Amino acid sequence: MVAGMSFELVIGGAASGKSEYAEQAAVEVAAQLKTADLVYIATMAARDSESLRRIEDHRRRRSGRGFRTIEKPTDLSAIDDIDGAVVVLEDLSNLTANELFVYEDGAFFERTPELALEKVLDGIDHLIMKSACLIAVTNDIFEDGGMLEGSMLSYTKLLGEINSAAALRADRVTELVCGTPVSCKYGYKTEEAGAAREKAACVRDEEEPHPPRIIFITGGFCQGKTAFARSIVSSLKMSGAGHVMLVDDFHHSIRQAMTQMMNRGSETGSDFSCSDTITEYKCCGRECAHRLIKGLCGQDYSAVVVISALPCSGPVPIDQFERSWRDEVGKACQVIAMYSSEVYRMLCGIPQRLK
């Protein structure tokens, strides 16, 4: 982070180094601005021994670095003593949980996601307006690989929406991977991608007139994959690309093909719990991908293909079918990426071009 930028969003998985990065960035910006007012806004609510331990660990790490701590689990809009300060907000994931699941009179109740979203974003806007520089930390919880439902599904969707909205507001977005900062903000913005893609499409038409044009988009849960895909389809159609097909959630098509194959095996008496019979659909992912590509060649279509990274992430499933599906989705991703002219990974609504 450099002076002159008012808001940086820092995202990463557990123990990825995002907090250490944010704190060091704040110290450096404060030195550049020649301000002694370093503020750390802590959003974790101390309700059990685990949260108390984490709070103490964070206090110990930033001890002696000049931070003034404000404990504020909710209602960031009420903070008024940070004018001109360099602020670290730690973190949006706790803040989102606190605004969605409100603790009153010894019990929790769940707000509507719309109200929680409004309160979090109002708080972020307030901090941006009042501070000289805001560095907000958030968590990447969108590639866990598990099946979400109920309150956890509501929370994950809400945090994904908040992260994307925060990324739009940010001057800079940085992902921490194994302690290494990776700049994300200066990838394609949706409105910029259309013009750049039109120019690239003309070059590809001259150099590679025969293969179908495939654009592949992947990323975790609630990261804006489908919205970005639709914007690409629209820009391709406007550029005169002809027939453009959106293939959304292709990982579900692979699962459906595997389920149909398993059902046919059950009708003939095959035992799909046996390793030698489960190999019958071990090539399903690649076959689905090749059928898709062959179909595009036959119809002279362009396609935007979306596959979630979710099935390939998280712990290895115990269930053999789920493990096989995970593997086949990964194989399909490799095939489609190989044939694609463009490959994007979505994070916080920001497309990162990989190819």
Q: How many CA atoms lie within 13 A of 323 on its CB side?
A: 11
pLDDT tens by residue, 124-162: 999 999 999 999 999 998 876 556 788 888 999 999 999
**Domain spans in the chain, listed from the N-terminal domain onward:** 7-183, 190-353
Give the pLDDT band (50/70/90) at residue 208.
very low
Q: What is the pLDDT of residue 326?
A: 80
Higher pLDDT residue, 281 or 243?
243
From 66-75, 78-87, 279-288, the region with the lowest mean pLDDT: 279-288
Q: Do domains 7-183 and 190-353 have the same CATH topology?
A: yes
| pTM to 2 decimal places | 0.78
CB-count burial class (<10 Å; 0-12, 13-18, 19+) for 318? exposed
In angstroms, rounded to a whole number, what is the distance separating the alpha carbons of residues 241 and 178?
Answer: 40
Task: Give the pLDDT mean for 17-30.
Answer: 93
Q: What is the pLDDT of residues 88-108, one digit of tens each?
A: 999 899 999 999 998 777 788
The CA-atom distances, in angstroms, between 175 and each of 4, 62, 182, 271, 313 are: 20, 21, 5, 45, 17
- Is the Cβ–Cβ distance between 343 and 7 less than 8 Å? no
* Model confidence pLDDT, tens digit, residues 274-326: 444 444 555 678 888 888 888 777 666 788 999 988 767 666 677 778 778 88
The 10 Å Cβ neighbour count of residue 320 is 13
**H or E element at residue 253:** helix 250-267
Protein fold of 190-353: Rossmann fold (3.40.50)
In this structure, CATH architecture of domain 7-183: 3-Layer(aba) Sandwich (3.40)
Strand residue runs (E) in 72-129: 86-90, 101-104, 107-110
